[in-house]
Amino acid sequence: MGKKKVKLPFLCYKKDMRKHFFIFIFCSLIFVRGIPGFAESVLPFTFQLPQDPWAFPEKGVQLTEKAKAFRFELKTREKVNGVTWIETYQDIQARLPLSLEAFLTVYLDFEGQVGFMPRLAKIQVLERSPSEYRVRHRYEVKILGYVYPSEYEMYYRIESFPAENKVCIRWSFVNSDGTLGGAEGGWFLQEIEGPGGKELLVRNLNIGLVRKDFPLQEQIMSLVGAGELEGIVRALYKEALRRGLR
């Protein structure tokens, strides 16, 4: 007789329910809590953002409007004060048939993101200037009638390079209600001329530290992480089209 297979509890649910479970776990880990003020990383990052974040795509790579995670990597780190941390790295890229202005119009309309960003329930701009924003986000994952809220604040800084048709939106973690030990990254955007007009090279980079709270957490994050991040780019693109922006 063959060995009897042992099913993990969360794998016994129907496929759609497992998907929602994975999404809940992923969001609850990314949308984080508990560190007041501008937070320094609890550990030095071992992952490093590229020295030249504009050096993309790699030679021979053809980007399309379908966002792709070229790198989504996780690494369990050592304990700090009894807490184990998971370090994360993401690199999402796309080539969208949009102008730089169209993308910025949609993304920097923070209050409007509630209508199209997945699971975003509320957003509040706490501070605003022409090139800097401090924003509080509230995400809600709804499963079986329960609502699992997550809140965090981020600081955004816009850097423009008009001569090269480039803009980057860098972010820094401020505080939240979850398990993040540090984060840094940004959007790197370059407008180019395509066969049909203006197009936009898009790169989303981020490194962070997420608190490990249970076994299999890293595996669950690996299952859903890349798809969730690609979905953010899709949502922004679809909203631009809905608004008639190009």
Could you list the pLDDT tens digit for every one of the 246 residues in the chain?
454 443 434 344 444 544 554 554 455 444 433 333 455 677 888 999 999 999 999 999 999 999 999 999 999 998 888 889 899 999 999 999 999 999 999 999 999 999 999 889 999 999 999 999 999 988 776 766 777 667 778 899 999 999 999 999 999 988 877 566 778 999 999 999 999 899 999 999 999 887 787 788 888 888 888 888 899 999 999 999 999 999
- pLDDT on residue 25: 47
Structure tokens at 98: 């949009």
**How would you write 116-152 as a 3-class SS string?**
CCCCEEEEEEEEECCCEEEEEEEEEEEECCEEEEEEE
The residue assigned the tokens 């953010």 is 232
- pLDDT on residue 80: 85
pTM attached to this predicted model: 0.81
Domain-wise residue ranges, the chain: 14-242
CATH topology of domain 14-242: Alpha-D-Glucose-1,6-Bisphosphate; Chain A, domain 4 (3.30.530)
Q: Are 31 and 152 within 8 A, CB to CB?
A: yes
